[in-house]
Amino acid sequence: MTVPAAVHSKPPGPKGRPLVGVLPEFRKDPAGFLEKMARQYGDVVYLPLGRQHIYYVGHPDAIRDVLVTNQHKFKKSRMLERARVLLGDGLLTSEGEHHRRQRRLVQPAFHRDRLAGYGAVMVDRAAVVRDQWQSGQSFDVLQEMMRLTLAIVAKTLFSTDVDSEADDIGTALTQVFDLFEVILMPFSELLEKLPLPAVRRFKRARKRLDETIYRLIGERRASGRDAGDLLSMLLLASDEEGSGGMTDTQVRDEALTLFLAGHETTADALTWAWYLLSQNPQAEAAFHSELDSVLGGRLPSFDNLPQLRYTESVFAETLRLYPPAWGIGRRALEDYPVGDFLIPARSVVLMSPYTVHRDPRWFADPLAFRPERWLVEDPARPKFAYFPFGGGARVCIGERFAWMEGTLLLAAIGQRWRLRLEPGHRVETHARITLRPKYGMRMIAERRDSGQHSVE
């Protein structure tokens, strides 16, 4: 490939400090820092992060080229490379033909004919949770949504109940996410071999999660039962090349990947949705009006989804403002031109839904919570101005599952409850693997007069 001489110029960006670059500032608030850099320097920004050479790319057309058009020129970034310590060779971390094979084997679990069954489980679990709440009760909505989505992913994908283990598993998941920063630090390959307290906690949490997954695998292999769920598919899978089924380790890697991704991201999004609704009375009123009109006091179902357009738009607008997958990285396999700049081979290209979704070029009044913006398509908006689930060959395999889950859970809970932010509670983002609220989300439940008496 011949690159014009002008392309060899280096993108603008902050200088940073010797050795560490802008790593200290980035680690304090990664999503906010990226947004600030994009507004200051433009659509291509060079960021020295310690030994890593990071190139932020922020224009939707350039993002499309990296994720779709030229995806063969990239591989996963350091974060996903290091995530193998936890996830093994699951869908998030694998590459090449192994990734394509595993995706083919997992894909049927998310086909449309299975979604209706999953939807019934989602609503049933949401009804159990909402019926336990008391008017005036204060609780951390993040923890409530984590328990709820954990129960759903366990039941829909593994046909099991983990209610008795939910707190244990939730604690292990939180520890894994909190300690993942250690794995991403420079020289972390060496650090993880040392008996440091953080490393020991990470290994204990990983062991706890492994115990649950391997127990589920062992029980299913012993029974020989095809439950028609993801776990059965993984255990019975044999692809068309005749390469045979998966080992327990391969099944563990895929199951744990979906176990984590299938509940953490949706719980984060739902938490932000309740917060945004509580802060925007007009949107909340329109949301409740649709629920009362469409459902008439009945629990929502898969068949109601086409009618719950405003509810789905609440979820879409939440994913715009607070996308759980706030940053997506790819490592360039060769020198790669973007506009007038050249990104050297081995550098990491970093794209941020959080930053792009808040760009006034693509969204009018970008910081405002306006679900109605999704009720009419904007033909002028580039496709990758909105990409909460990524794109290309590595687009989130559970995207349709997530849209359905977000809409149905908002509907089932929202028809009975309003949630109000607890006075004095601090709300800040905490961008690590996902975009969580830094201090949880303490809210107070208020029972609604309308829709509270269901005919379930």
**Is residue 68 within 8 Å of residue 42, measured between CB atoms?**
no
Q: Rounded to an integer, what distance in angstroms lies between the CA atom of residue 159 and that of residue 152?
A: 9
Residue 168 has pLDDT above 60, yes or no: yes
**Is residue 25 within 8 Å of residue 33, measured between CB atoms?**
yes
Q: Which pLDDT score, from 0 to 100, does residue 219 have?
A: 84
Q: Which pLDDT score, from 0 to 100, does residue 453 have?
A: 43
The strand pair at 348-351 and 52-57 is best described as parallel
Q: Which pLDDT score, from 0 to 100, does residue 111 have?
A: 78
Q: Rounded to an integer, what distance in angstroms lies between the CA atom of residue 316 and that of residue 344?
A: 35
Q: Which of 333, 289, 296 is nearest to 314 (CA)?
A: 289
Residues in contact with 320: Cβ distance below 8 Å, sequence separation at least 6, in sequence order:
357, 358, 363, 386, 388
**Most distant CA pair in the chain: distance in Å?**
70
pTM of the model: 0.89
Mean pLDDT of 47-56: 88
Q: pLDDT for 62-116, tens place per residue?
A: 999 999 999 999 987 666 666 666 777 777 777 778 778 778 878 777 877 788 8
* SS3 label, residue 430: strand
Distance of CA 378 to the CA centre of its chain: 25
Torsion of CA 360, 33, 58, 438, to 10 degrees: -80
Amino acid at 83: A
Mean pLDDT of 436-442: 95
Query: Of how many residues is the chain composed?
Result: 456
Mean pLDDT of 53-60: 95
* SS3 label, residue 346: coil
- Supply 201's token pair: 């906690």
C-alpha distances out from residue 425 to 197, 212, 272, 321, 444, Å: 30, 34, 14, 20, 11
| DSSP code of residue 440 | B
Q: pLDDT for 422-437, tens place per residue?
A: 999 999 999 888 899 9
Residue 441 has pLDDT above 60, yes or no: yes
Q: pLDDT for 16-41, tens place per residue?
A: 888 889 988 998 899 999 999 999 99
**pLDDT range class, residue 159, cuts 50, 70, 90:** confident
| % residues pLDDT > 70 (the chain) | 87
Q: Rounded to an integer, what distance in angstroms lies between the CA atom of residue 273 and that of residue 321?
A: 10
Mean pLDDT of 185-208: 69
**pLDDT range class, residue 240, cuts 50, 70, 90:** very low
Residue 451 has pLDDT above 50, yes or no: no
Q: pLDDT for 378-435, tens place per residue?
A: 999 999 999 999 999 888 888 999 999 999 999 999 999 999 999 999 999 998 888 9
Residue 202 has pLDDT above 90, yes or no: no
**pLDDT range class, residue 228, cuts 50, 70, 90:** confident
On average, the pLDDT of the chain sits at 86
Residue 455 has pLDDT above 60, yes or no: no
Domains and CATH numbers, the chain: 5-447 (1.10.630.10)
Task: Please report which helix (H) or strand (E) contains residue 257, including its range.
Answer: helix 248-279
Q: Which of 30, 3, 154 is nearest to 429 (CA)?
A: 30
Q: Which of 63, 83, 85, 82 is nearest to 74 (CA)?
A: 63
